[in-house]
A and B are shown apart, each in its own frame.
Chain A
Amino acid sequence: MNTHRPWKLSVAGWAALLLFAPATVLAHQEIGQITGFASGFLHPISGFDHVLAMVAVGLWGAVLGSPAIWVLPVAFPVTMAFGGLMGLLGVPLPGIEIGIAASAIVLGIMVLAQLRPPLWAAAILVAFFAIFHGYAHGKELPEGASALLYSFGFVVATGLLHLVGILLGEAHRWAVGRQAVRAAGGGVALAGLFFLWQAVAA
């Protein structure tokens, strides 16, 4: 048996792979499209207040269990998009930053205290706060990006933040995890108080 054969094949394989690494390949990239998705995807995770609230939605959903575990993360992006629509249209909405801070406080307390309101009440509460988050994003949307890709990236990032919250919240199944989830809720509420102080002071 020729023991060198695998090595020679490997060399040829690597050489072939390296040949596919040319200086520039700009195939099928429409102008602004990648920028649109990337900036849309990064927008929700660029603000700590948004991130905490969205993760808290997932945490609370996990605490409440089925069907809230998926109803809340569905309600949030849809109503957030509605808020974004309001922001884009220039519909006046007062107290945006206070509403965002309040969302972190209230959702954090819900997780901390393990409160279990009826599903409809939880969904309305989450949807109400989502409007403030969406409105803030809608007002800040940049010019020139690919609208569809930006919107798609924006929604996907929001959904993934909820998913992170749900996965963290799944620790709720164990006694130690339950305490950790409650502590996380307390942390979100405290951060919300800080955001509220900032919003009022501004």
Chain B
Amino acid sequence: MRRAVGTTLVALAAIVVASPAHAHLVETGFGAFYDGIAHFAVSLADMLIVIALALFAGLRGTRAARHAMFALPAAWLVGGALGALWPTASIWPVSTTLSLALTGALVALDAKLSDASVTAFVIVAGALYGFVNGATMTPGGAGGLALLGAVCAIFFVNTILAAEVTVLPVGWPRIAVRVAGSWIAATGMLMLGWLARPTLA
């Protein structure tokens, strides 16, 4: 009991002297690779398009999901490398938002595209977002290793999600995926309004 009281007192003392936590190693960092992973994890735009593409490929079946599993990260990496070469290029917000809304709509409609079409769509969307990633990350000091980290995270999320969707039974689970697609489409459509508003103001 005495030992427990002692432990408690030490713990309380430690709590009293607790200083603001410098969480996520903002001062030292984990390194460029993990910065890339973190960049993807906290970028809702990137996360949403990867989720949408994974849902889309997953709904179209195992073959399409397998193709997308490699096509998306590869396209993202190539696009990112090109974007890193032209870091001052426009980030094309209308194009990326349109592709987000379109992907969401394809999921919501459960569009019956061929495997080749799904792969082509995934490559175009992945390259577009990758280009924007490369163009925006490079001026911030993130290099190729950070891009590789982001691409690895994309591969991970896309593979897990698409694989889960391919095995969903017909009925409510697949309907839930389509509802999620409609939400992404609606979000993209509202974003288009936000993008257009300042130009008209």
Contact = CB atoms under 8 A, between A and B. Distances in A.
Q: Which of B18, B42, B190 has its CB near the most chain A CB atoms (within 10 A)?
A: B190
A18 interface: yes
B179 interface: yes
A89 B186 contact: no
Contact of A77 (B12, B21, B182, B200): B182
B108 A19 contact: no
Contacts of A156: 183
Contacts of B186: 77-78, 80-81, 151, 155, 158
Given A15-B8, A77-B183, A80-B186, A141 B194 contact: yes
A38 B178 CA distance: 24
Most buried by B among A14, A28, A33, A147: A147
Nearest to B191: A151
Interface string B124-143: 00000000000000000000
B96 to A, nearest CB: 10
A33 B43 CA distance: 10
- Place the interface of chain B in its size category: 35 or more
Contacts of B42: 28, 30
Interface SS of chain A: helix
20 contacts: A4-B1, A8-B4, A15-B10, A15-B15, A22-B18, A22-B20, A25-B21, A28-B38, A70-B178, A74-B178, A74-B182, A77-B186, A78-B185, A81-B187, A81-B190, A85-B193, A88-B190, A88-B197, A151-B191, A152-B183
Nearest to A20: B21
A148 interface: yes
A124 interface: no
Interface of B: 1, 3-4, 7-8, 10-12, 14-15, 18-21, 23-24, 26, 38, 42, 44-45, 48, 105, 108, 175, 178-179, 182-183, 185-187, 189-197, 200
B8 to A, nearest CB: 5
A23 B20 contact: yes
Nearest to A12: B7
Q: From A21, A25, A155, name the one whose CB has the most chain B CB atoms within 10 angstroms.
A: A155
A120 to B, nearest CB: 15
B189 A82 contact: yes
Contact size class for A? 35 or more
A24 interface: yes
B24 A27 contact: yes
A88 B185 contact: no
A151 B15 contact: no
A52 interface: no
| Pairs of residues from A and B, 5 with the lowest C-beta to C-beta distance, nearest first | A15-B11, A88-B193, A81-B186, A151-B190, A22-B21
B179 A84 contact: no
B10 to A, nearest CB: 8
A182 B98 CA distance: 41
Given A19-B14, A90-B200, A147 B3 contact: no
Given A85-B190, A147-B194, 13 more contacts: A11-B7, A12-B7, A12-B11, A15-B10, A19-B11, A19-B18, A25-B21, A70-B178, A85-B192, A86-B193, A148-B48, A151-B194, A152-B187
